[in-house]
Structure 1
Amino acid sequence: MQLVVARIGRAHGIKGEVTVEVRTDEPELRLAPGAVLATDPASTGPLTIETGRVHSGRLLLRFEGHTDRSAAEALRNTLLIADVDPDETPDDEDEYYDHQLIDLDVVLPDGTEVGRITEISHLPHQDLFIVERPDGSEVMVPFVEEIVTEVDLEEQRAVIDPPPGLIDDRAETASSRDDEA
């Protein structure tokens, strides 16, 4: 199975380094020196990581054969893709790889269907489930314990208990309850 683990940003300096937008929660494993990554577009890869370092809070990588700013700039916006064993799981039982969560059904505690996870967005402070609703619209659900109360990989579902207003119907239900009171 192939997973997008990063996107290459702008060139940094004159020696071929690039900034990287990390899209994996295991950058030390997936983006380590010596790692060989497929790319999208495929014409730019595969790329082998020569060096990596953190500078001012950003990950900088240099790839074998890309030793100057022009070569680095040519890689901008390239997606880096790692091969991952589909049976591989994180060490912590409360952690999940993106590929384990994509396509899970999302339901409320009473079983009401919310939609299906189509993407995981990794933000600096928390991750978000991008959930496609049955009508084709999308809703973003913070992947925090208070909201995502259960992830059941065997049943292929995630149970969420969102606060009023996070999901449209619940906001309407809450406001109709307020009207009745």
Structure 2
Amino acid sequence: MTEYFEVGKILSPHGLKGEVKVNATTDFPEERLANGSRLFIKNSDQYQELIVDGARRHKQFYLVKFEEIDGIDQAEKVCGKELYVAETDQQELPEGSYYFKDILNCPVYDAETGEKLGVLANIETPGANDIWEIKPEHGKSFWIPNIESVVNKVDLANKRIEVTLLEGLRDEN
């Protein structure tokens, strides 16, 4: 069975000819929104394919035209829907890069002591760098920035993340 991963959300119609405003939540918006790209929306429990017919940047969003959407009435029907990419359409990433799905729930260890700190429970992308929520077996979750001085190693093959906690990143009270 094909897996699908969210890459954006349709926010509103734009104009009368079927363009929609999209908030892209992917690291690869130019690839995902390139002419001819296949994206999907979910209707009930079915995924419906949409083919990108054109896209352009507009402020912090993208204006996208899909082949299947010809006017404002059809555009309004897809507003609020998430856009997905099929796993089979995902590209191979360069060395040292990874998809969120590949690292979520990985155990996180202190690089110096080897102590297991918890698992990577959530990833947020607020700005310059991602922040990761580490959930220990006991106690409160804490957040770390995904920066070189903190995240030392992401070992996908062994499902292991090693970090160096800077002072103040973890409230142990």
- The match for 2:92 is 89
SS of 2:149's partner is: coil
Q: Which among 163, 168, 178 is matched to residue 166 of structure 2?
A: 163
Asked whether 1:13 is paired with 2:12, we answer: no
Counterpart residue number, 1:175 = none
Rate the CA distance shift 1:136–1:89 in 2: closer, same or farther, 3 A: farther
Q: What is the TM-score normalised by the length of structure 1?
A: 0.77
Contact 2:16 2:72 survives alignment (8 Å): yes
Q: Aligned with 1:90: secondary structure?
A: coil
Match of 1:178 in 2: none
3-state SS of the aligned residue for 1:168?
coil
| Unmatched segments (≥5 aa) in structure 2 | none
Matches of 2:139 and 2:9 in 1, distance apart?
27
What are the residue-to-residue correspondences of 1:146-161 with 2, within 5 Å?
146-161=149-164
Distance 1:48 1:119, change over 3 A: farther
Asked if residue 102 in structure 1 is aligned to residue 99 in structure 2, the reply is: no
CA distance in 2 between counterparts of 1:25 and 1:63 reads 20
Query: Given the alignment of the two structures, is residue 54 of structure 1 paired with residue 31 of structure 2, yes or no?
Result: no
Cα offset, 1:87, TM superposition: 9.4
CA separation of 1:97 and 1:19: change in aligned 2, threshold 3 A: same
CA distance in 1 between counterparts of 2:135 and 2:124 reads 13
Identity %, equivalent residues? 27
Equivalent residue in structure 2 for 1:40, among 19, 34, 42: 42
Distance 2:129 2:139 in 1: 24
Q: Which region of structure 1 is more displaced relative to structure 2, 36-45 or 156-165? A: 36-45
Measured against aligned partners, the alpha-carbon deviations of 1:126-177 in whole angstroms (never above 9, x if no partner) come to 22223333248543322111211111112211112232332222xx5xxxxx
Indicate the structure with greater helix content. 1
Cα deviation, 1:54-91, whole Å, max 9, x if unaligned, reads: 12242221222323333223222212111224995312
